[in-house]
Copies of this chain bind each other. A is one copy, B any other.
């Protein structure tokens, strides 16, 4: 510890006394140096307050989940979602509403079932992982070997694994920030190929989810190049408990897996874009993103109907202001987040010449839980703007290393500044990627709070005299 010299100590004490006695003056002095001008802050605060009183966001997500419902990449329902997006943005007064080409995988689930055959016969609830190959029609019947983690599988003798179904029994932890997901999900992406290398014939995983409902969680897997592809499915948590208990009995366990999953040819479809044009610098863009596709099991209310509704409604409310902000607010409803973000990649390719004029990107893809933190990746000199926004929203300020989200992650090489609003994800992973992702899981007031926050942030960045600079290199951090 270094002791402060007397003069410094005196100065520190004076400052503390000044802040204690004249807090407003002290804050104003700080803010005046670098943060939002008063008129910008006032309008942003007013957008925020008015949205908290009630918005159309719930109506928007209700319309999408009811009239379109499940809309996986490549499906005809996804095309209906594109029509819905174009129609909705036009009806809500957006300008320059259009579709932007995206080529997406087309994977279909087909019929699927699973059964523990021995020692105690029990049918189970499972869902093929997205992108999994199917089994032969008669299914795969094989002994089961349990491993407690992805790394443990590598330690096994191939002779132990050969011809077996590998069951990864990794439990996801419930956390407000959803960080349990990051720790549990690698097994879903990589588990199949890691087991296939050792001769496994199929993979089962415990659902990456925090609930105890008999609703399995799907999600994408990635087959490793050059490794034999084997079928993979997630058991619901109660079914994973059952399989683990059968294994714990010490008797040999046999399982029959039938997956009708298969990949069809790629499909050319589209992301949907609409704008609130800026009044002075329309060529400078504040991008608000969410993804229009969903998994096939639920109606995609929290993933990502909520984000679609939040971003549309936040932008719409900015468009209703008597004086629109200087810069353009662009809402991008991305095609295909779930199967490799090809919509986001297509956007980057199509807009590469204007990415330098994207002054901010934000993404809403974490359900409808309330915003509790603002994180960023902006020029560090501009962090006082983020601090000012945190104060305005009444939330914590997070780190400056945010990726922002899966879709806007593609903008990182162009150093597009990121604002990320962290949502309360305590219950998000109870429903995420399951049939249970339905409208009833959304509280309209929570949606309103998200709309309020994004409207204030997007307006402030679109209106402020300066900008957020350019984002530093991604350090691998997460918001």
Residues of A within 8 A of B (CB): 62, 66-70, 120-123, 125, 212-215, 237-238, 241-242, 245-246, 249, 298-299, 434-436, 438-441
Contact = CB atoms under 8 A, between A and B. Distances in A.
Given A125-B435, A212-B438, A237-B440, 14 more contacts: A66-B242, A66-B249, A69-B122, A70-B122, A212-B440, A213-B213, A214-B298, A214-B434, A214-B436, A215-B215, A238-B436, A238-B440, A241-B439, A241-B440
B238 A66 contact: no
Contact of A241 (B123, B213, B438): B438
14 contacts: A66-B120, A66-B122, A66-B245, A66-B249, A125-B435, A213-B213, A213-B215, A213-B436, A214-B215, A214-B298, A214-B435, A214-B436, A241-B438, A242-B438
A70 B116 CA distance: 13
A378 to B, nearest CB: 40
B69 A438 contact: no
A212 B441 contact: yes
Contacts of A121: 69
Contact of A120 (B69, B123, B438): B69
A67 B66 CA distance: 41
A441 B66 CA distance: 31
A322 B439 CA distance: 59
Copies in the complex: 2
A146 to B, nearest CB: 15
Nearest to A246: B66
A68 B121 CA distance: 8
A68 B441 CA distance: 34
A409 to B, nearest CB: 31
Grouping DSSP codes into helix (H, G, I), strand (E, B) and loop, the A interface class, with mixed when no group exceeds half, is loop
Contacts of A67: 120
B238 A438 contact: yes
B69 A245 contact: no
Contacts of A125: 435
A439 B238 contact: yes
CB-based closest 5 A-B pairs = A238-B438, A214-B435, A212-B440, A69-B122, A214-B436
A395 B151 CA distance: 51
A105 to B, nearest CB: 21
A356 B70 CA distance: 61
A238 to B, nearest CB: 4
Contacts of A123: 70
A238 B242 CA distance: 26
Contacts of A215: 213-215
A438 B214 contact: yes
Contacts of A242: 66, 299, 438-439
Contacts of A245: 62, 66
A70 B124 CA distance: 11
Contacts of A238: 436, 438-440
Contacts of A440: 212, 237-238, 241
A479 B212 CA distance: 31
A435 B441 CA distance: 20
Contacts of A237: 440
A125 B121 CA distance: 24
A116 to B, nearest CB: 9
A199 B289 CA distance: 51
A215 B436 CA distance: 9
A242 B68 CA distance: 12
Contacts of A441: 212
B241 A122 contact: no
Contacts of A298: 214
Contacts of A436: 213-214, 238
A323 B8 CA distance: 83
A350 to B, nearest CB: 31
Query: Which of A69, A213, A215, A242 has the most B CB atoms < 10 Å from its CB?
Result: A213
Nearest to A119: B67
Nearest to A120: B67
A65 to B, nearest CB: 8
Contacts of A66: 120, 122, 242, 245-246, 249
A123 B241 CA distance: 28
A76 to B, nearest CB: 10
Contacts of A69: 120-122
Nearest to A116: B69
Nearest to A435: B214
A241 B298 CA distance: 13
A121 B75 CA distance: 13
